[in-house]
Structure 1
């Protein structure tokens, strides 16, 4: 076997291999003998047909199958001998086979980049120092109550965070237009709507201060780039009938409500303790995430590595699929998204994966069973039956493998943190969690055991 390797472009390689004609002829003859014993040709008993007839009928397909098998075998043999680590499957480039001659073919593939991790010692990382205060617990208790609030009608004027029910009729130049009427529209004032929902935004602004039963008019100017063609740039008048104004009715922290939240003895003190535990857990995750982002950015900045096209394409497809699924409705309609939209994020994902893998390999990081058990227990805590969840993870090979990978990644991140230059910064719980609104904050989950 003769081989030669060349670099094509970037991480691309082309290997050219020549297989000795004797090897090919022996393999073909062996296959012909095997086929001859198994087939039945009209006029002959099974396995008794003349070899020349078998060769005449099956030679072409046998030649092709043998060449395909030999190309795969010799490719694997060659990259193993030369200690080459290919990414994905190679593209075989066969040449014409001439009976009685050596056979030469090529295979093109990409290799993983050679990575020598740089920048660990000089990496600067901010390490937040934060704690959960009693005031933070009180704020969270208010959020818990708000998340479980009910609505009750009020005769007071509408304010931010009220819910309203209304009818509207719109006109442009005193003429109706398509979609100009609606009844029993329910809006939550102050809820975040996008700029494209200009009508709802305007309704919110103009409803504040009005009471249930009032009729009034508002003027809306639709932008030039509005999504509805016949409304672009138009001034419209809407007649509003405000039918109902509702305000939040927060549940009191009664013993029954506290028991409903999972605190069996209904104690407010016990509730605060449990809420604090959950907040500390969330704070720990947020602090780790804050530090991890710096580690990842530092690694990418210090290690400008090439990304194999095969891995980049796979990462793009995964992101496209996830995005399409998140926007698809119940009809699962197809959502066409351009590759370019995801290329930067996908490239970063692949770079991170390669860098973390390199750290794990370079520093010989191995699976720590205690770490894995800890991660499983953290996941199980938020489930209704933690013991059942723990058992599931230990029995399911896929789930366990995912946890093992997560543990290895955390070990790699911790190694970088230990080598980096840390600067502590003091931050409040609210600054670390950085909630944009109460409705975007995570609901506290309680362990009922």
Structure 2
């Protein structure tokens, strides 16, 4: 064996190679043929120059290519021999080459760490109780009826603003220095109270106002507000309420329910409650899973390959870029955002990498795999939740990468089920 393996840390290996006798004959022949196909030599068509002429003209480069082929071949043979689970590309260092005689070099490479999860039997977690109220079902009904609702002014002028009502009002913001920016001004603005459309405190400050009332609302802009000059800024708003409006919804009849795809009002109520329960159950499970991962990561310390963290950071950046651009950010604004929150993204990437490695280790420990039966069951579940045909959903997941991601998610889901059998979940 012409190499030795040294552990630098939990996820980095150094493979030191030393060849006292070096014969690059085969590699040089291969490199000459590869070079022959690429070069243009006067008097010959491309790729048709004699091999000996190519070797004579490009000798040093060909020898360098041959050495590179040799180094790569020996490295991958050593990786296979040692059964190393390599992450990313190796970094070759300390290359000492005596032409045609000997060569030595080191290959630094990151590998997947060996993750051994400590005993979980004494860990305890609490899962949120899932409940669906009649008010939540009613809100879904209003969403369906929204397009058919009429906005009308409330005739009773003694009516006070409250959540769910709409205000038509004028407003003007004034900063501490007395300036009144145009972007803090509005006339006959329509706002649903409780919608959260304005900064925290604004809508609450309007509750209780009547038509014709004027009021000064003192507020402080959030520290993370998207306009730099207004972050943590103290501002007062002069508000004049012009009208109070309300949405009048039509009666939700069996006929309307059928137009929305349900058999009846009762069928709507039943299916809506089932969907809300499923959504809340999924949210409660996701929250529990997050708490389990946080605990397992704090209980089990191990190093993670920087290559995996970098890959995950890039994925997070691409995903967030799409979201920011949907919100109106341009490239410069997005880069400024990434620059400011780079530390948070790295921390999140490390957490996600560690989570994946722990779940993979536990999946192997519990002998968990995602089967075709699991895939078909998940497709049917997603079809039911989305209201789409099963074949439509299956077609979407037919692409290799999309199906692979779903199978990975199924394996994780089954692993969490196994974890729940070991830990205590109240």
Cα distance, 1:306 vs structure 2? 1.8
Which residue of the partner structure matches residue 254 of structure 2? 255
Question: Residues of 2 paired with 1:369 and 1:113: CA distance?
Answer: 29
Distance 1:176 1:416, change over 3 A: closer
Which residue of the partner structure matches residue 189 of structure 1? 193
The correspondence of residues 132-211 of structure 1 with structure 2, limited to 5 A, is 136=133, 138-147=134-143, 148-149=145-146, 150=149, 151-155=151-155, 156=157, 157-161=159-163, 162-169=165-172, 177-179=180-182, 181-192=185-196, 197=199, 201-202=201-202, 205-206=205-206, 208-211=208-211
The worse-fitting range, judged by mean Cα deviation, of 58-67 and 173-182 is 173-182
Cα distance per residue 1:139-180 (max 9 Å; x no partner): 233112333443322134341222222234566899764316
Cα distance, 1:353 vs structure 2? 0.4
Give the secondary-structure state (helix, strand or coil) at the position aligned to 1:8. Answer: strand
Cα distance, 1:102 vs structure 2? 0.9
Distance 1:10 1:407, change over 3 A: closer
Unaligned runs of 5+ in 1: 424-449
Whether the aligned pair in 1 keeps the contact of 2:218 and 2:236 (CA below 8 Å) is yes
Q: TM-score, normalised by structure 1?
A: 0.78
Question: Residues of 2 paired with 1:9 and 1:206: CA distance?
Answer: 60
Which residue of the partner structure matches residue 374 of structure 1? 377
Q: TM-score, normalised by structure 2?
A: 0.81
Unaligned runs of 5+ in 2: none
Which residue of the partner structure matches residue 89 of structure 1? 89
Q: How large is the Cα RMSD of the aligned pairs? A: 3.6
Aligned residue pair count = 409
Distance 1:83 1:171, change over 3 A: closer
The correspondence of residues 6-405 of structure 1 with structure 2, limited to 5 A, is 6-19=6-19, 21-29=21-29, 31-32=31-32, 41-42=41-42, 49=50, 51=52, 53-93=53-93, 95-126=95-126, 136=133, 138-147=134-143, 148-149=145-146, 150=149, 151-155=151-155, 156=157, 157-161=159-163, 162-169=165-172, 177-179=180-182, 181-192=185-196, 197=199, 201-202=201-202, 205-206=205-206, 208-211=208-211, 214=212, 216=214, 218=216, 220=218, 238=238, 240-264=239-263, 267-328=264-325, 329-330=327-328, 332-334=330-332, 335-336=334-335, 337=338, 338-393=341-396, 395-405=398-408
Cα distance, 1:50 vs structure 2? 8.2
Give the secondary-structure state (helix, strand or coil) at the position aligned to 1:120. Answer: coil
Give the secondary-structure state (helix, strand or coil) at the position aligned to 2:98. Answer: coil
Distance 1:56 1:296, change over 3 A: same
Larger RCO of the pair (alpha carbons < 8 Å, separation 6+):
1
